[in-house]
Chain A
Amino acid sequence: MSEESDEQIAGSVQSGDIERFGELIERYQAKLMRYARKFLRDPEDAADIVQDIFIKAFENIQSFDAARRFSPWIYRIAHNEFVNALKKRASARISFGFDADTLFPHLPAPEETDSATLDRDLRSILEAHLDELDSKYREPLILYYFESMDYREISDILAIPVSTVGVRLARARERLRAVAMRKGEL
């Protein structure tokens, strides 16, 4: 695989070297599959949705601003596709409408320097109980701890204020701990 950045490859694709789009697929396929499986809970149609994400990304690649990072851009497409997929499932509990968390400013929650600093207990709780969280809390957790995105990138992907990202992460952790306590795991 080339040493060029995602943004440089995307720029080449924009200039007409469409074969290089394959390199972007190689770089993001595993990440998006992991994101899909964790977020959608039902991994059955994850491959089809990820395929749609790459198709949408190719169709819209001229809208990508090469001066910005590529990963939040493609994850934003993924987020939209996942939300659409969840909406189609009648049984899914989703909350993507108006959210009071986005209304007022919040004190900036401290951002951990690295997702590796996540303590062992919380990581095992995350793995075990992620499915029990509402989608609006599940998604920032996945992006932060599994996809190693920072607050600003998550803000771009979910199109919510940066301070709201911190609030949702903090609440998601609290809820996860509460689930683990209830089940006697903490």
Chain B
Amino acid sequence: MNDSLKGVVMEAIAEGRVRMRPRWHFLIYSAFGVVGVAIVSLLLVYVASLAVFFMRESGALFTPSFGMRGWFVLLRGLPWILITLVLVFIALLQLLARRYRFVYQKPLIASLIVIVSIVFLGGWAVGESPLHRQLADGAHHGNLPPPAGFLYGTGLRPPREKELYHGVIARILPEGFILADFKDATSTVLISRGTRLPFGADFEPGDFVVVIGDETSTDTIRAFGIREVRE
């Protein structure tokens, strides 16, 4: 049996029925693996940063400073489609990376921590850069091809939160201020004793602010919380 097994294999090799794959086959395979990891990593950072950009743009990113109600606004305002995509890409990257010895020899949690750190740092860095703003403006003015229009239009954006307002102070009033949103619509924001102002009330015209509150009548908002944000 032993000899016959060796004989069968060596005969198959000698007759050319079994062939050695050339080294370049494996080099290309490895290169595809590296390129795959790089592409998925870039997509991951891009999608994560787009999620950060949408949350910044809607103001949802800043609402946790208002307490529990702010956290609920954030949860409702999360871009769930993008977050799902981020999770899918994390799983895909994990699968691709576990082919490598330095990854599989460590516990899964170690590579997950590295990937999630890349997502947070990369997502935050790109989200803070003007990249998405410029692309969104380009898509808005029809200067970019249709996929960008879908990405930056309503396709992946979370629906607008009813109690969340983001804009610039147009005018200071005795009982609050006039808020102009990014479509140039205006609302009156009323500040009361109970309004939460985690970063103070030193507002001036031209300040960018995030407001959560209830619309009491047309274009009037009773503010639950207000904070200034950097634009």
Contacts and interface: CB of A to CB of B under 8 A. Distances in A.
Interface in B64-104: 98, 101, 104
B10 A25 contact: yes
B107 A25 contact: no
Nearest to A50: B5
Given A18-B20, A161-B104, A58 B109 contact: no
Contact of A156 (B5, B12, B101, B106): B101
Nearest to B100: A159
Interface in A30-81: 30, 47, 50-51, 54-55, 58-63
B9 interface: yes
Contacts, number: 79
Q: Which of under 10, 10 to 19, 20 to 34, or 35 or more describes the interface residues of A?
A: 35 or more
B20 A58 contact: yes
Interface string B1-16: 1100110111011000
Contacts of A63: 21, 26, 29
Nearest to B19: A59
Given A60-B21, A61-B20, A62-B26, A104 B109 contact: yes
A115 interface: no
Q: Which of under 10, 10 to 19, 20 to 34, or 35 or more describes the interface residues of B?
A: 20 to 34
Interface in B18-36: 18-23, 25-26, 29
B134 interface: no
Contact of B10 (A21, A30, A155): A21
A164 interface: yes
A162 interface: yes
Main secondary structure of the interface of A (DSSP, over half): helix
Contacts of B107: 102-106, 161, 163-164
Contact of B13 (A21, A62, A104, A160): A21
Interface in A96-141: 102-106
Contacts of A54: 5, 9
A130 B90 CA distance: 37
Interface string B32-72: 00000000000000000000000000000000000000000
A47 B5 contact: yes
Given A22-B6, A26-B6, A29-B6, A59 B21 contact: yes
Given A51-B9, A104-B108, A161-B107, 18 more contacts: A19-B10, A22-B6, A25-B5, A29-B5, A54-B5, A54-B9, A58-B20, A60-B26, A62-B23, A102-B108, A105-B109, A156-B105, A159-B98, A159-B104, A161-B104, A161-B105, A162-B105, A163-B107
Enumerate the 9 nearest inter-chain pairs by beta-carbon distance, A residue then B residue, closest first: A63-B26, A62-B23, A25-B6, A105-B107, A103-B108, A159-B104, A54-B9, A161-B107, A102-B108
